[in-house]
């Protein structure tokens, strides 16, 4: 990186930090879309962004995670996103298109989930940063899709307790086949996680093959959300991907209903939204492969459930232990 770029990054990040410290927190309940890798979260995100008037982290913000708000102000206007459902492994083309904000969230959370590495003193930054994006996008509620946030729901609930959580679940064999194809295209090593997963140092048992690793990753994401929802009464909206493809408007209605319960008014809609859209689920899996994947699931399901429960308990304990630090830096 050139000296000029380093100076720009330092100056812009300092200015952004000043703006965030002085900013008001978010006014509206944010909507977080979660789910395991290749479960359909991106198309659900795109549909909701195109149905409702929302704010979000655009790609230019993700690319400049130390000054995402200023990057958005300088590089984008607040016009509606393109009506296009194309994406590439969760990324939507265009510098102003909605992104998952992956690098932005890494300011507070570990790359792979580890409650012990969360920056609790920095967490109060999130509501204020979201508040800035709400106001930039014409006082619009914030929405985000980020697979890694599936395993951060406890901490996000800690600082944003009114959030609407939309968790996407796709049939296991179809999801696993899609993940394996994606791993091959992206040259992911057989013993390494890709996308949302716990830190390997936390897992108390060995994963003996790439297939077992991928099935475990899917199961632990879904079980974590189930347990967190039960323990914290998050009101999670569970979305079956196949059903969404047939009737996406039904999911939009569920999200709107949940948001209305929290605010007393409906989500603002976009003009020209397509209430009759449908999508194709190309998740064909051979019977033999389906049996192989389900067998692996059955072999590891119980210990994965127990591990996911422990992750939730550890995250809740970390939030409780760090509440004074969060309160001291809020507001």
Sign of the Cα torsion 271, 81, 152, 73 reads: negative
Q: Which fold has domain 18-329?
A: Rossmann fold (3.40.50)
266-319 confidence digits (pLDDT tens): 999 987 666 678 888 777 899 999 999 999 999 999 999 999 999 999 999 999
CA separation for the pair 284, 148 (Å, rounded)? 26
Contact of 260 with 266, CB cutoff 8 Å = yes
What pLDDT, on a 0 to 100 scale, did the predictor assign at position 331? 44
Lowest mean pLDDT among 41-45, 66-70, 234-238, 326-330: 326-330
In the chain, the percentage of residues whose pLDDT exceeds 70 is 95
For the record, the structure tokens of 15 come out as 């200015």
Residues 6+ apart with CB under 8 A from 55: 130, 133, 134, 136, 137, 140, 141, 142, 143
Contact of 83 with 49, CB cutoff 8 Å = no
pLDDT value at 150 more than 90 = yes
Is the whole model's pTM more than 0.85, yes or no?
yes
């Amino acid at each position: 990186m050139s000296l000029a770029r380093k100076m720009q990054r330092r100056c812009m990040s300092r200015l952004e930090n000043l703006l965030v410290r002085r900013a008001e927190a978010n006014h509206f309940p944010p909507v977080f879309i979660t789910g395991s890798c290749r479960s359909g979260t991106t198309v659900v995100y795109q549909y909701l962004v195109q149905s409702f008037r929302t704010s979000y982290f655009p790609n230019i913000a993700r690319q400049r995670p130390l000054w995402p708000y200023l990057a958005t102000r300088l590089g984008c206007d607040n016009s509606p996103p393109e009506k296009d459902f194309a994406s590439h492994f969760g990324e939507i083309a265009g510098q102003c298109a909605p992104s998952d904000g992956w690098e932005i969230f890494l300011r507070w959370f570990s790359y792979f989930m580890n409650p012990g590495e969360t920056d609790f003193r920095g967490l109060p930054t999130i509501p204020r940063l979201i508040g800035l994006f709400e106001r930039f996008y014409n006082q619009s509620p914030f929405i985000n899709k980020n697979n890694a946030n599936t395993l951060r729901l406890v901490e996000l609930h800690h600082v944003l307790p009114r959030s609407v959580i939309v968790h996407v679940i796709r049939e296991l064999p179809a999801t696993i086949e899609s993940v394996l194809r994606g791993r091959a295209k992206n040259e992911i090593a057989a013993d390494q996680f890709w996308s949302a997963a716990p830190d390997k140092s936390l897992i108390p048992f060995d994963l003996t093959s790439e297939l077992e690793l991928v099935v475990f990753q899917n199961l632990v994401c879904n079980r974590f959300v189930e347990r967190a929802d039960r323990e914290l009464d998050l009101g999670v909206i569970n979305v079956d991907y196949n059903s969404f493809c047939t009737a996406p408007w039904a999911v939009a209605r569920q999200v709107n209903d949940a948001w209305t319960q929290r605010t007393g008014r409906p989500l603002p809609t976009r003009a020209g939204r397509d209430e009759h859209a449908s999508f194709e689920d190309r998740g064909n899996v051979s019977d033999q492969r389906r049996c192989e994947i389900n067998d692996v699931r059955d072999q590891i399901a119980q210990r994965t459930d127990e591990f996911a429960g422990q992750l939730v308990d550890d995250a809740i304990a970390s939030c409780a232990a760090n509440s004074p630090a969060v309160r001291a830096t809020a507001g």
